Amino acid sequence: MFKHLLKLIWNKKKQNFLLISEILFSFMVIFAVFTFGIYCWDNYKQPMGMEYENVLAVNFTNPVKTTNADSLRLFYETVKRNLKSLPEVDEVSYASVNIPFSESTINNSMDINGKNIRQINEFSGEDSYPGVVNLKMAEGRWYNKQDGLPGTRNMVINRALKEKAFGDVPVVGKFLGDPAKPSERFKIIGVIENIKFNGDYQSPALAIYKRMDTAGYKWVSNMLIKVRPSADAAFESRLYKTLANSLNNANVEIEHLANKRISINKMTLVPMIILSIVAGFLIINVALGLFGVLWYNINKRRGEIGLRRALGATGNGVSSQIVWEAMILATFSMIIGSFFAVQFPLLNVFDLPAMVYIIALLASVLFIYALVLVCSLYPGRQAAAIYPAVALHEE
Amino acid sequence: MIRLQNIEKVYRTSTIETLALNSINLEVAKGEFLSIMGPSGCGKSTLLNIIGLLDAPTRGDISIGEQKTGHLGDRELAAFRNKKLGFIFQSYHLINDLQVVDNVELPLLYRSMSAKERKQLATEALEKVGLSNRINHFPTQLSGGQRQRVAIARAIVGRPEIILADEPTGNLDSAMGNEIMEILMDLNRNEGTTIVMVTHDENMAHKTHRLVRLFDGSQVS
Amino acid sequence: MLRNYFKIAIAVLKRRKFFTFISLFGISFTLTILMVATAYIDKLVNDPYPDAKRDRSLYVNKLEQKMKDGRQSGPLSFYFLDHYAGSLKIPAKVAISSMSRATNTYVNNKKIVINYKYVNSDYWDVLEYDFVEGKPFSKQQIANGEHVTVISEDTKKEYFGETGSVVGKYIEADNVKYRINGVVKNVPVTAYQFFADIYLPYTVSKTDYKDKAYHGEYIAILLAKNEADVPAMRKEYEQMISKVPLPNKDITKMYSHANSYLVSYVNVGSEDTSGIAYVITAIGLFALLVMLLPTLNLVNINITRIMERSSEIGVRKAFGASSRTLVYQFIVENLILTLIGGLIGVLLTFIVIRVLNNAQLIDNLYLTINFTVLLYALAICVFFGLFSGVYPAWRMSKLNVVTALRQNN
């Protein structure tokens, strides 16, 4: 019977061509939406790697004109001490401009373990940084005062970079950078757990964490402050005054990391929602069209269906034939569609894990089958209801 | 072979009630070639549908072979039609998107049978109607007479005991019509197939064993 | 004849209500998406507030410095724009303003985020802000370095609450008190070159506006006396840039352009890769995808419809209609269908835009359907109608009279 249906569909390929291409495009759209969705969900399930509640992010225009390293450091130490004298402030760390959820990035490439690795995010923070955002060490330690001694060339990396460069082995004591260029070579002293600094729906990117140095202080424009849960708006206003007075000549803005997280999540969620709404309507559109065409085809094939009934097909037989035909059509479309879809993991187009594509592919296949099933059930029932005695005498 | 007792068929719409068949009693013996004649709208097609179990009578009983059919459900009726009955129609009712051999195989699809066996039987049936050289053509590539021969092959491929033909020569010229009639008569003679044929054509009707005339839903001779 | 077509089209639409529904649903929904997108883009790039003199303006918002192994790209310094762009002959005015930055202020322990922008006096002449009260600060006030400001209506509401005139009152931002000189109507944040909550004289900027570095935080608008001068002004700017001395020997080349609003608005990409082409491709692809499926659907349904009417077509042909007239008939019918769908789409768009405006997803961004958007909608409809009608019509014209007449179901 299956072969018979295949033959029937094959011989009608001209009429079925449009239907197949329509299902094909729907499949591709669904595949795209599912890939995006599954990727986001997959990332969402990963731990954040840090605490953002009760952390304030301050950005200020650079207030210092001096280039003298000691006076720079002294200036920023004073600001920090002023802040820490406030009872609600737990910990303070200056940071490079790419603070978590900030949408700004500093990227670099590096030779590690014989591989040239691109797109490494470069963060800078102080010794107090882990205390502010509560980041966790996977291995080794974070920086301390000794790392500031001249000639010390230490580096902290994140788990993602470690796994990409070295695999799942202990790496403390190993080196980063091209061995031929000693000025770019660093010793790994610690590995931190991944931080999703681009929001909940982004995958943890490769990262190195530097200890803030003189050059860092020269351009610094951000700090992170961990405050007590009791800190309220009145405190924030006091904090603002303290900052404005200490950083004279600077414009100052205070933000909550928790709010920054919400707004950066929107950067993923809003396109996702728009995409889903558009895709949803497209699919409704296609479903109605599919339903309409199948339904109409039943009317056109009344003679054939009546004949099949006369020759011994049961009502259920006829209705399942209609459903099967639609399913085979969908299968044709999806074989073609899958050919295109597997190019994404094979060619590594968007640098997503292959698993995401595979799950998205399977989910799309199931979705399209379900859609086609729903659209063909009623026409199938209609076909079963055709009265052979009437259908055979209509011409 | 076929026994109709007090068959009555009424069509109802919201405003009118039409009596299509009025107390028909008819018995067809095994191996008989019966023709039914009558003007348009006299109920002959309705009668053939009822014999073919495509339509149920409003009142009355039908037995085919030893089987009373009144209580059979959709599934049993389908199986019964498939095994015992073969159909031929005025407008052939071939599936244009299937090749000749696939069209002929159609009744066998609703039995459990291997593809090879099906093909074998279909080829044999086509040989019997003299179309073994047209196996892989599409119906649209054939003449009317050839198409009707394909339809006959399809009707006989399952070796039914009864063939029901609804004006099989109605769309054909007399030469082709005669050809078709020959095939049917051969079938009746050589295989002992019982045939009930509805026709408009007196000449054709007179070639059969017995002629039944209907008028306004009643049997007149 | 057209009247006749119209009658038949309506009759056909009424006959198969389900198919009509599917067709209209597809057309109107697609149109709604495209129209809302068009309205949005139109708002972004064609909004005349506060930038009304766009035809005779050119925009400078980027300087790219090329080094041996990299490049640095971003807004310019006040010094650069004032000194070099300010010395050009053709521009009648040069409006210079900083990119807006955020700071906080606290009123009754409530935090208000304030985006501030430093501007020169030409800024108020080039851009036509609607002053709800007061007026812009003057050239003299700027020169004196007075702490005066122009604020937006939103800021007034947030800082002072519902109250009368606030001109002459003080607003505190960044720990400094500014006297309010005027209040202007809000600008949506999407018009990022003009958006701010408070506008301040550049002379009160905390960073040194006299700094001679080329990169900075400022952008400029060059205003020509009339539209005809614009190409010459563009050229003059290019020539000027080629003469600006390179700041140091690491820099091998410097680029900066005075662009039209659209190009400056998109402001992505670099010298080597055109940003505008990228954006247009992306928008085009999206539109294509959104339209492709409904079009396929429509073609499918149209073919189904035609086959359904094969006996009608057979009769028409038998009574002397040529294939060509039938194709015209069908395309006209289809156009009527798409135009009805378009009408529904416009209604839907009104509703969606109403909802979006009420939701205020982006502060102060009010979408409208204007003539341009409607024109686009009409174009899309006609495209739809033709595209989805031509293939089925061609199939129809090939229909054989005899078979068409015979199979009437």
Look at residue A93 and tell me whether its pLDDT is greater than 90: yes
**Which CA distances in Å does B141 have to B69, B144, B147, C208?**
39, 10, 9, 90
Look at residue A395 and tell me whether its pLDDT is greater than 70: no
Q: Which of C106, C117, C176 should one mutate to test binding to chain A, selecting the residue with the greatest count of A CBs within 10 A? A: C106
* Integer Cα distance of C106 and B111 in angstroms: 85
Whether A257 is covered by a domain: the verdict is no
Look at residue A337 and tell me whether its pLDDT is greater than 90: yes
User: Is the domain of A92 the same as that of A221?
Assistant: yes
B115: which chain A residues are within 8 Å (Cβ-Cβ)? Answer: 3
Interface chains of chain B (3 or more CB pairs under 8 Å): A
Tell which of A250, A274, A296 closes a domain.
Answer: A250
- Which token pair is C156? 């007034």
User: Is the domain of A187 the same as that of A240?
Assistant: yes
Tell which of A250, A278, A306 closes a domain.
Answer: A250
Amino acid at C365: L
Q: How far is CA B150 from the centre of its chain?
A: 14
Q: What is the pLDDT of residue C1?
A: 65
Number of compact structural domains in chain A: 2
Q: What is the mean pLDDT of residues A325-338?
A: 94
Q: What is the pLDDT of residue C65?
A: 85
User: Is the domain of A235 the same as that of A204?
Assistant: yes
Whether A255 is covered by a domain: the verdict is no
Residue of chain C whose alpha carbon sits nearest to that of A27: C293
pLDDT digits (tens, 9 = 90+) for A6-52: 888 888 887 788 889 989 999 999 999 999 999 999 999 989 889 99
Q: Which CATH architecture has domain B2-219?
A: 3-Layer(aba) Sandwich (3.40)
A369: helix, strand or coil: helix
User: Is the domain of A91 the same as that of A230?
Assistant: yes
- Cβ B80 vs Cβ B62: under 8 Å: no
This model of the complex carries an ipTM of 0.80
- Answer with the residue of higher pLDDT: C104 or A94: A94
User: Is the domain of A107 the same as that of A133?
Assistant: yes
User: Is the domain of A226 the same as that of A291?
Assistant: no
Residue of chain A whose alpha carbon sits nearest to that of C216: A61
Residue A349: exposed, middle, or buried by beta-carbon count in 10 A (0-12, 13-18, 19+)?
A: exposed
- Cβ C253 vs Cβ C61: under 8 Å: no
DSSP string, C216-236: SSEEEEEE-SSGGGHHHHHHH
Look at residue B174 and tell me whether its pLDDT is greater than 50: yes
Across-strand partners of A89? A227
Q: Count interface pairs A-B at CB distance under 8 A.
A: 80
Within 180-239 of A, beta carbons closer than 8 Å to C belong to: 232-234, 236-237
Look at residue A339 and tell me whether its pLDDT is greater than 90: yes
Whether A106 is covered by a domain: the verdict is yes
User: Is the domain of A36 the same as that of A82?
Assistant: no
pLDDT digits (tens, 9 = 90+) for B39-53: 888 888 889 989 988
Tell which of A217, A250, A283 closes a domain.
Answer: A250
Look at residue A331 and tell me whether its pLDDT is greater than 90: yes
User: Is the domain of A93 the same as that of A200?
Assistant: yes
- Which token pair is C345? 């789409």
pLDDT digits (tens, 9 = 90+) for B43-82: 888 899 899 888 889 999 999 988 888 888 888 888 888 8
Residue A284: give the domain boundaries. Answer: 2-46+264-391
Q: Judge if the upstream peptide bond of residue B139 is cis by omega within 30 degrees of 0.
A: no
What end-to-end distance do the CA atoms of chain C give, in Å? 27
**pLDDT < 70 regions, chain C:** 1, 69, 267-275, 318, 320, 400-409
CA distance A11 to chain B (A): 6
Q: Which of C112, C175, C292 should one mutate to test binding to chain A, selecting the residue with the greatest count of A CBs within 10 A? A: C175
A63: which chain C residues are within 8 Å (Cβ-Cβ)? Answer: 206
* Integer Cα distance of A150 and A155 in angstroms: 14
